[in-house]
Amino acid sequence: MNDSRAIGWIRVLFACAAALAARAALADSDVIFADSFGALCGNNVIEVPETCDGNCPVCTEVYPGYTSSGSPGTCDVVCHIPIQTCQAGDSVCPFVAASAGAQCSAQTDAECTGSSWKAQFVFNVDTTGQACVTSYAYGIQGGASYDITTCAPTSGQAGAGDPQITTVVDNNGTSYAVGNDDCTDPTALPLLAGWTCHNSAGQPKMSCASPSPGGFRAAAGAFRLQITVCRYGTDGGIAPLYIWYNGTATPNPG
């Protein structure tokens, strides 16, 4: 075999070896990719896209208006998802953020009594000179849904200080949940509506009641709410009090 033919065969052999090496490298990279990004449920390691693995929570909610998704068996449990569908049987008349609350009505959700969610300014709450202020809101309807807040539609309308809604009680003595001071839960109705819960100093200090994204439903026979607002510590101020409602009557100060 002459030198030129020998060199040609050597080049062919090198080309074949290079091709085989490239295929082997590709196969190895495929295995690495699968090992790196293919989550294995049950190995006690939280891998993308898992939300848990070996430590999945049991979803429990104190307030209505929330659902959950996934299961421990698939390592994708997600709790505290605000209900955003108008439907009967979930004990809530939800504020649907994507439709500005207009979607859920008596025609689309058995838990709703009005045509949509609306907001009504009721009065200003002044906690500068005293610890607590008690006011009343009338036009309440049994079965209708409400959310009371010192949050505001825009930052230019934000109140001052650090007001805290401490109690909401109707004329029959029924108390309603108020556990969302400072309105820090992003699923709160005013925040779903795009309102600001910061005060005029830019601090997240405004209050929401109820914590549910669908507010609370007034008990049968209710026509008035007694609302007590206190300042937190010594941080008093004047803040607007709004009532979000899904009912046929507009809340008013009487």
- What domains appear along the chain, each with residue ranges and CATH number? 115-246 (2.60.120)
How high is the pLDDT of residue 247? 97
What share of the chain has pLDDT > 90, as a percent?
75
What whole-number distance in Å separates Cα of residue 231 and Cα of residue 188? 21
pLDDT of residue 2 exceeding 70: no
What share of the chain has pLDDT > 70, as a percent?
85
Dihedral Cα 214, 220, 222, 227, nearest 10 deg? -40
Q: Which of 25-29, 49-53, 226-230 has the lowest mean pLDDT?
A: 25-29
Q: pLDDT digit string (tens) for 189-199?
A: 999 999 999 99
Confidence at 242, pLDDT banded by 50, 70, 90: very high
CB within 8 Å of 50: residues ≥ 6 apart? 39, 41, 75, 76
Confidence at 4, pLDDT banded by 50, 70, 90: very low
How high is the pLDDT of residue 17? 40
Confidence at 180, pLDDT banded by 50, 70, 90: confident
The Cβ of residue 210 has, within 10 Å, a number of other Cβ atoms equal to: 26
Q: pLDDT digit string (tens) for 49-103?
A: 999 999 999 999 989 999 999 999 999 999 999 999 999 999 999 999 988 878 8
Q: pLDDT digit string (tens) for 132-179?
A: 999 999 999 999 999 999 999 999 999 999 999 999 999 999 999 998
Reported as type and span, the H/E element at residue 8 is helix 3-37
Say if CB 231 and CB 151 are below 8 A apart.
no
Say if CB 251 and CB 140 are below 8 A apart.
yes
